[in-house]
Structure 1
Amino acid sequence: MSAVHDVERPPADIPREFAEVFRPYLDDLADEMIGEIRASVPEYSRPSGAYARIVRRAVEEALAGFVNRVGDRRVSRTRLLEVYRGIGGGEASEGRPLDSLQSALRICARVAWRRLATESERLDLSRQRMCDIGEAILVYLDEIAAAAAEGYAEAQARAAGELELRRRRLLNLLVADPPPDARAVEDLSRSVGWTPPRTLACVALAPRRPGELPRPGLPPDVLADLDRSDPCLVVPDPDGPGRQALLRPLLSDWTVAAGPAVRTGEGALSLRLAVRALDLARRGVLASDAVIRVSDHMSAIMIFRDETLIQLMERTRLAPLRGLKPGQRDRLAETLLAWLQSGYNANEAAVRLHIHPQTVRYRLRQAVELFADQLKDPDGRFELEAVLRAWALRAGKRGDRARPLPGRT
């Protein structure tokens, strides 16, 4: 419940005459309170300027509000508490801790009680009356302190929301295609305290399960927008110390694909490649149990850029395998790919496949006989390796043949 809704509690039973007796002393009392606040609270120790005005307003409003409430029970406390909500909000906006304001209010209560004790005999206040007034002061202090705290919290929430909104706008600028004017990026970066880096990398994310996921804990220089249709991050200086490890904690909740490091104006390219890698991971082509780094999978992303073209190439380049049984087709394709990747070295291909070199040579004799024309042509070898890589990526990551090689159709 907000502080404003707490204000209708009846005040302690203090004689109204007390207000009239104390009213002439308010200016002197305010000066005494301000003096002690300046001496005791470092944030309010400046003798002039905005700090001094805030202290004086807070003290005078508190004194006038208390005396007015005692003098007229019909006086609403709503305005006073709104004033203190505003004061609390102002303290948050200035970046001062709430403790400073609360300390100042406690000093006010202590000075008021001390003056009351000094004047009690002259005012003929009984012990019971002193207790009533003391209780009223404490209740009053709690009310205005709660109102200040509420205003402080609201201002902090607004500031945090505005800062987050600006950080998201900055992220959107950095991944925009075409890139925005560099001055716009500089101005928005300055407003959120973000230093434009020499290089950055964009990270594409996909939730591993439906429903709301916990917000990841990330360094403050990492920009994040998890509410986009394509959730993403912008990581400055991605090749710097410790940057490779900062994405690993996200893996329990997200599939993570990190784009390549690019210049500040090339964020759209980094994000586009990261999104493509993420799509391949969703389909099982790339493993998603670790951070998927585009720089490690450039060839796969290139090969799967146009799958219709790859399928047409498969029909042409792998046509010699159609007359073989499925098991034989797979073994020959696997061996031929390892041989091409090994620079036509049968021994190295055997190491890749964990089989005897003689077995590799036996299979290669069959493969070379089937693909002789393609292997003589540089373009043919390139396309043959590309379609074999596509097959291996679709199949190998899952431990099965995700899509059989072309056979009798």
Structure 2
Amino acid sequence: MIRRVGRGLVPQITDEILRQIAAYSRHPTQRRRDLITKAVASAVELYADVVEKIPSDPETVSAMYFGMGRGEALAERSLDGFRAAVDLATHRAAEAIRHEAEGLVPDDVRGTLCGSLLAYMGILLDDVARGYAAGVRDREADPCWIRRRLVRGLAGSADPAVIGGLAARVGWQLPAAVVVCSVDTITPLDSVGLPQTCVWDTAGRRALVITDPVEVDAVSAVMRGWPRTGPVFVTVPVPLADVPAAIRWTERARDLVESGVIPADPVVRCADHHVALLLNADPTLSRWEASEALAPLEAFKDEHRRAMVRTLRLWLLTGANAPALAAELGIHEHTVRNHKLRLRAAFGSRLQDPEFVTLLLFALGAGESPALDWVELERCG
């Protein structure tokens, strides 16, 4: 009876697991269905052998459930879904046994059968738990998994102590600044060919690499050789704390490539498209761009810098000549000519670049930048 009832339940239990357990219903592939069917059918056959006292090889089923637990750990899934599936299967099987055995065997025998079923499924869950623990040990000793955790930790602003611990385990010296590289790949990658001076997460189809700025050309060259579906996106150097912002820049650059705003070059460097990105930027990128644009003003002493900024801002906004600027600024025409001469020397030919001028005007009105004392600048108009 047990074997007949159990075999009849296999398709029903498989369907219910795929339909009701969230961990399995999200991706109900044929392979997943086949694995669940095999797991349920194997458990049924072994349980029937035990009840009917037929010699069998319990180690085979035990090893299967051990392997499934290990697989869940390596896939970085919890056992919640697996336990829910086992609970569902046990409940359905117990219901069927009670129903089929009613009137055929005494109630105490039915109770014994259901109790032995619960004990049997508990043994299988123990096998799963042992496999899961082994999988956790294996993955946490795997340098690729540690690097993946490190990338995800940086992307998620994890505790610096956690980041430092993970970095130490793979011998990664935490740089003061890093560059984030991102690319969409055709399939997840196992063999990446990257130097050990960077960390990466290539387990999904959007690969992320975090590298020391000095290695960025070598890293982007390797990534260009991967089977990919789009450009390699490369950010400007950022502190470790700004990695989440840098990842957002690559995502925005990807959107701009897809919409045709940025050319789909093999390597898209955010620094080459800063104005396009600034139009949709976040504060971190805005501060960096403003600082870079205004850096030449650091050559002037504080008292001269404020005067230079006033002249530069009005000059860029109006394009006026020296007499007009002098009248607007309330200073001597000769002083304006001197300012313009020194500003041309500081910024060079970039003042002839419309894109840079747009960026510079943005920076002069950005309201915050490490390059200048913005409170003082705003006071001088």
TM-score calculated relative to the size of structure 1: 0.44
TM-score calculated relative to the size of structure 2: 0.47
Q: Which has the larger radius of gyration?
A: 1
